[in-house]
């Protein structure tokens, strides 16, 4: 499963003091049963109109229909609340312990919190699209933990007023929002570690891309930064993607096709 040339490289890498950057996307969490936004689960109906996640998970929609956007988010969150880390997540937690905080950085597009649940630490885990574990107030900017006593709601449930009160900002009592990057918003450092993630890309000696296809802006920028620096890239994915094709064309790394829950634990043994 792991080519000899990669085994040799990883052994040398493990014995060096070089830094590794891991970039993960929906593919790693799909193996824990979390549906991707691009699947049919993400679609939503308001009135007679069908919305895609790209249309509903927006700041524009939240300002117009905050409660409807919340119901969409809670429906999605219900799937994530039951999910458990899989062997791919666990392998990344093992690698953070083995390499240490100076040599390990994890950048994730996933908002499900499974990396932290598996044992990766917040200082080394940049959630560039935010996290469902927190909510925030757009009025005063405060970030708060997601109210754990909020019930489970699906799209057809009516949410009582006392439940909505749990989503009110304790500082200014405005309705808070999911602490995630909406599709019509841009990254920043304060909420999404934008600069820290790019900084990590500039300084890394190895990039490992897991279960992501290069469809969004910052992951693509990270990939291009490492590519231009001439550093090796390992891509783990079920299918071909912009990332796997680029590695093949430039011959600058390795493409490993298959489930990250099977490949990452094996890969980790060579570091």
Q: Are 270 and 13 in contact (CB under 8 A)?
A: no
Binding to Zn ion by residue 170, rule CB under 5 A? Answer: no
Window contacting Zn ion (CB under 5 A); options: 43-51, 112-120, 171-179, 224-232: 171-179
E strands in 143-201: 143-145, 177-180
Window contacting Zn ion (CB under 5 A); options: 107-115, 169-177, 198-206, 220-228: 169-177
Q: Going residue by residue from 124 to 143, which x/- string records binding to Zn ion, judged by CB under 5 A?
A: -------------x-xx---
C-alpha span between 114 and 83 (Å, rounded): 8
Q: Which two tokens stand for residue 6?
A: 């990669």
Partnered with residue 155 across adjacent β-strands are: none
> Closer CB to Zn ion, residue 66 or residue 232?
66
CB 138, min distance to Zn ion, A: 8
Window contacting Zn ion (CB under 5 A); options: 44-52, 164-172, 181-189, 208-216: 164-172
Residues 6+ away with beta carbon under 8 Å from 262: 1, 87
SS3 142: coil
Residue 134 annotated as catalytic: no
What angle is formed at CA 169 by the lines to CA 165 and CA 175, rounded to 5 degrees? 65
CB 174, min distance to Zn ion, A: 5
Q: Going residue by residue from 87 to 126, which x/- string records binding to Zn ion, judged by CB under 5 A?
A: ----------------------------------------
Q: Going residue by residue from 190 to 229, which x/- string records binding to Zn ion, judged by CB under 5 A?
A: ----------------------------------------
Binding to Zn ion by residue 171, rule CB under 5 A? Answer: yes
Q: Which two tokens stand for residue 111?
A: 């908002």
User: Is 127 a known ligand-binding residue?
Assistant: no
Q: Give the number of other Cβ atoms within 10 Å of residue 112's Cβ.
A: 25
Binding to Zn ion by residue 172, rule CB under 5 A? Answer: yes
E strands in 89-129: 104-108, 125-127
Known catalytic residues are 129
């Amino acid at each position: 499963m792991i080519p000899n040339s990669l085994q040799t490289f990883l052994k040398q890498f493990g014995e060096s003091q070089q830094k590794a950057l891991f970039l993960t996307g929906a593919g790693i969490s799909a193996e824990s049963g979390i549906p991707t936004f691009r699947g049919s689960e993400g679609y939503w109906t308001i009135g007679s109109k069908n919305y895609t996640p790209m249309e509903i998970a927006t700041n524009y929609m939240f300002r117009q229909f905050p409660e409807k956007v919340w119901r969409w988010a809670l429906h999605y969150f219900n799937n994530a609340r039951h999910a458990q880390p899989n062997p791919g997540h666990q392998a990344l937690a093992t690698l953070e312990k083995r390499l240490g905080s100076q040599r390990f950085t994890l950048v994730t597009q996933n908002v499900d919190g499974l990396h932290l649940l598996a044992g990766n630490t917040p200082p080394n885990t940049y959630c560039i699209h935010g996290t469902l574990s927190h909510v925030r107030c757009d009025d005063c900017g405060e970030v708060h933990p997601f109210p754990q006593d909020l019930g489970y709601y699906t799209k057809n449930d009516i949410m009582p007023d006392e439940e909505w009160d749990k989503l009110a900002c304790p500082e200014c009592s405005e309705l808070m929002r999911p602490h995630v990057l909406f599709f019509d918003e841009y990254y920043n450092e304060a909420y999404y570690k934008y600069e820290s993630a790019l900084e990590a890309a500039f300084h890394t000696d190895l990039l490992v891309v897991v279960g992501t296809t290069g469809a969004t802006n910052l992951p693509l920028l990270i990939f291009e930064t490492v590519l231009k620096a001439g550093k090796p890239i390992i891509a783990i994915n079920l299918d071909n993607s912009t990332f796997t094709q680029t590695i093949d064309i430039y011959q600058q790394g390795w493409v490993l096709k298959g489930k990250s829950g099977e490949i990452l634990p094996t890969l980790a043994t060579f570091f």
